[in-house]
């Protein structure tokens, strides 16, 4: 019974504040973790990427991570340290060729003290195992501006509860993509085996991670986001609704039987999606709210 949200504004806005308000309205749907993916309007300059890294708070951690990045050809431009309760959720801005991104991720993950949470040119993912109120107090999400973003509160039905299993999920094969999901993928193990045989490495045992890898394979094969989501309705089994974002677009889908809720709100200034109407009423009161139909796909593109 997780709660999912997505919002896209016509201009740079307080997207973090909107997501926090929407997630507070959905807190009853899950209290085990909270997470957001926030997208700035302008991407960083070519070959500059935001790395969000989960780090143990130990002496020499920054030095080890910096060495891991440099040894894979990365040039660190800025470091922002975020220490919370004995660990860090640090933000590194790194200049690196896109074909070296996975090498940097592997190097950081193999330090034994850190895990990469997300990589993107205009995306930043923050997540933690806490309530929305605690999440806001720790990370001041309301102070983060952007053009669009996703949010999630979790009630786990399978896989363990920790930061890596929290949403949003991402793929290092396609920077700037993120997914939030409510429901279950009942053919998870079958599809995971197929993707692993194609060379995909999974970081968790959460079925939601499958969705992001599935969509990335479709996008890398040349499909549009709408086409990829339409394929997922046919190939993913079980009760689900999910929202996916790329660097310029948000898409959402509801399973073909309509077993998990998803509603959308649309007006001239803001587009939003959520598990319940109560979260959409926070966004605006003059637009149209409706349920996604079973099996329906909707995509919104960022305005120039």
Q: Which residues contact 301 (CB under 8 A, 6 or more apart)?
A: 248, 249
DSSP category for residue 255: -
DSSP helix/strand/coil, 63: helix
> What string of DSSP letters covers 74-90?
-EEEEEE--EETTEEEE
DSSP helix/strand/coil, 139: helix
Q: Which two tokens stand for residue 299?
A: 């995509």
Q: Among the options 2, 9, 130, 299, which is catalytic?
A: 2
DSSP helix/strand/coil, 65: helix
DSSP helix/strand/coil, 102: helix
CA-CA-CA-CA torsion sign (53, 65, 110, 101): positive
The answer to whether 299 is a known catalytic residue is: no
In Å, how far from its chain's centre is CA 282? 21
Phi, psi of 198 (to 5 degrees): -90, 5
**Cα three-residue angle 7-94-92, rounded to 5 degrees:** 65
Query: E strands along the chain, which residues?
Result: 3-13, 33-39, 48-56, 75-80, 83-84, 87-95, 114-120, 123-128, 146-154, 178-183, 240-245, 249-254, 263-266, 270-274, 288-291, 297-301
- Cite the active site residues: 2
């Amino acid at each position: 019974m997780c709660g999912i949200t997505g919002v896209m504004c016509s201009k740079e806005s307080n997207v973090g504040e909107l997501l926090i308000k929407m997630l507070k309205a959905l807190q009853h749907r899950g209290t085990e973790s909270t997470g957001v993916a926030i997208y700035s309007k302008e991407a960083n300059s070519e070959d500059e990427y935001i790395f969000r890294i989960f780090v143990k708070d130990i002496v020499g951690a920054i030095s080890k991570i910096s060495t891991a990045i440099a040894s894979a050809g990365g040039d660190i431009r800025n470091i922002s340290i975020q220490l919370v309760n004995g660990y860090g959720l640090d933000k590194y801005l790194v200049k690196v060729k896109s074909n070296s991104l996975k090498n940097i991720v592997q190097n950081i993950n193999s330090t034994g003290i850190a895990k990469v949470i997300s990589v993107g040119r205009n995306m930043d993912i923050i997540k933690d195992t806490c309530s929305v109120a605690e999440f806001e107090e720790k990370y001041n999400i309301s102070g983060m501006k952007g053009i669009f973003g996703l949010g999630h509160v979790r009630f786990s039905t399978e896989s363990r509860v920790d930061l890596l299993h929290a949403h949003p999920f991402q793929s290092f094969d396609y920077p700037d993509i993120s997914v939030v999901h409510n429901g279950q993928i009942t053919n998870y193990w079958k599809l995971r085996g197929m993707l692993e045989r194609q060379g995909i490495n999974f970081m968790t045992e959460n079925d939601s991670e499958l969705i992001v890898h599935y969509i990335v394979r479709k996008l890398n094969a040349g499909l549009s986001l709408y086409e990829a989501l339409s394929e997922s309705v046919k190939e993913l089994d079980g009760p689900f609704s999910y929202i996916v974002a790329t660097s310029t677009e948000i898409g959402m889908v509801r399973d073909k039987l309509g077993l998990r809720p998803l509603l959308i709100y649309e007006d001239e200034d803001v587009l939003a999606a959520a598990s319940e109407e109560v979260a959409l009423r926070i966004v605006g009161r003059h637009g149209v709210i409706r349920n996604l139909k079973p099996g329906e796909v909707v995509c919104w593109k960022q305005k120039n």
